[in-house]
């Protein structure tokens, strides 16, 4: 029977594909990772990794060990979940990956409430302008703007939200009123960098029939700040508007897009009580928070 700590080192290296990356996940230095891997390989009598141009790649022996190591990880996590006392609230660490609009304008207050109600719970928000890789365990749960089409992933639609055209009072001051879509001609537009749109659901501009953005970012939060600074007019989350009182809606009855959030988790984690509880409460809180914020915008 292999030492679980050594298997953790193996899994982290297989997912990060570098010693330094594994070390960051495990909070130890690369030399310690290398030493522990060497010890595991010596014990098994097998070479588990080879150094490649892309980093550390699994050998055939490493590929064979991977399912067993993942099963051991699931067993260890289930054991931790099992000893928690439900009457004392949720306890343990959960990392949530999310697109940065959700991560900036919804998750902070939701996670704050969950942690306040469950002092033993540790929540981390991974805000990235790309799809979170659950197979490499970048996060325990992921929020996505589209349902994943491949991999061993479970997903559920948890909430709908809206995008609206907005601009700052300062930008609109002194300009002709915008009464129709045609009046947008000649205005500066704020949006995503076209070649960095990682999901078709984020291609707002083309769906709304707008031109390419004059001022762009791969971050929804940066786009909101562009709008706040009077850089132009852009599509933004309606739930973000209460946090930006400088902004007001433009053509609210003519240009409104609807999108959905999906909660995604790895299929191997479906028996983990902690993740199931956090996922359930997260879904409920997101629906409530979006409804409340959109009503105020």
Predicted confidence at residue 84, as pLDDT, reads 52
CATH code that applies to domain 4-83: 1.10.10.10
Q: What is the DSSP string of 201-261?
A: GG-HHHHTTPPPPSEE-S-HHHHHHHHHTT--EEEEEGGGGGG-TTEEESSTTT-EEEEEE
Give Cα separations from 23 to 19, 128, 266 (angstroms).
6, 21, 23
In the chain, the N- to C-terminal Cα span, in Å, equals: 58
Q: Mean of the per-residue pLDDT values for the chain? A: 89
* Sequence-distant (≥ 6) Cβ neighbours of residue 162 within 8 angstroms: 237, 238, 256, 257, 258, 259, 294
Average pLDDT over residues 269-294: 92
What is the Cα–Cα distance from 241 to 168, expressed in whole angstroms? Answer: 11
Q: In terms of DSSP bridges, do strands 233-237 and 153-168 run parallel, antiparallel, or are they unpaired?
A: antiparallel
Predicted confidence at residue 2, as pLDDT, reads 57
**Domain residue ranges in the chain:** 4-83, 89-159+260-296, 161-258
Joined tokens for residue 284: 């409920």
Q: Which fold would CATH assign to domain 161-258?
A: D-Maltodextrin-Binding Protein; domain 2 (3.40.190)
Joined tokens for residue 217: 């970012």
Identical fold, 4-83 and 161-258: no
- For residue range 151-184, what is the model confidence (pLDDT) as tens digits? 788 899 999 999 999 999 999 998 999 999 999 9
Query: Does the pLDDT of residue 244 top 80, yes or no?
Result: yes
Residue with tokens 């700052």: 168
Q: Environment class of residue 111 by beta-carbon count within 10 Å: exposed (0-12), middle (13-18) or buried (19+)?
A: buried
Predicted confidence at residue 149, as pLDDT, reads 82
Joined tokens for residue 23: 């070390």
Architecture of the domain made up of 89-159+260-296: 3-Layer(aba) Sandwich (3.40)
Number of residues assigned to the chain: 297
């Amino acid at each position: 029977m292999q030492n679980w700590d050594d298997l953790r080192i193996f899994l982290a290296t297989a997912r990060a594909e570098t010693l330094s990356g594994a070390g960051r996940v495990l909070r130890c230095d690369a030399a310690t990772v290398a030493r522990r891997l060497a010890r595991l390989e010596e014990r098994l009598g097998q070479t588990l990794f080879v150094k490649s141009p892309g980093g550390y790649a699994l050998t055939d022996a490493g590929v064979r060990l991977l399912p067993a190591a993942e099963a051991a990880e699931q067993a260890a996590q289930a054991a931790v979940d099992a000893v928690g006392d439900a009457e004392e609230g949720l306890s343990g660490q959960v990392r949530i990956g999310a697109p940065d609009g959700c991560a900036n304008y919804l998750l902070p207050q939701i996670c704050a409430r969950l942690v306040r109600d469950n002092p033993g719970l540790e929540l981390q928000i991974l805000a990235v302008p790309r799809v979170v890789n659950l197979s490499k365990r970048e996060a325990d749960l992921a929020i996505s703007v589209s349902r994943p089409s491949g991999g061993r992933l479970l997903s559920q639609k948890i909430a709908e939200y809206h995008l609206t055209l907005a601009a700052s009072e300062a930008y609109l001051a002194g300009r002709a009123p915008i009464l129709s879509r045609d009046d947008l001609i000649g205005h500066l537009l704020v949006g995503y960098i076209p070649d960095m749109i990682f999901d078709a659901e984020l291609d707002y501009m083309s769906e709304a029939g707008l031109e390419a953005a004059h001022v762009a970012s791969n971050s929804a939060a940066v786009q909101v700040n562009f709008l706040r600074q009077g850089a132009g007019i852009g599509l933004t989350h309606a739930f973000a508007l209460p946090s930006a009182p400088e902004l007001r809606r433009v053509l609210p009855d003519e240009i409104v897009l609807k999108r959905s959030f999906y909660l995604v988790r790895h299929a191997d984690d479906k028996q983990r009580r902690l993740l199931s509880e956090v996922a359930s409460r997260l879904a409920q809180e997101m629906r409530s928070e979006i409804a409340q914020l959109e009503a105020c915008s």
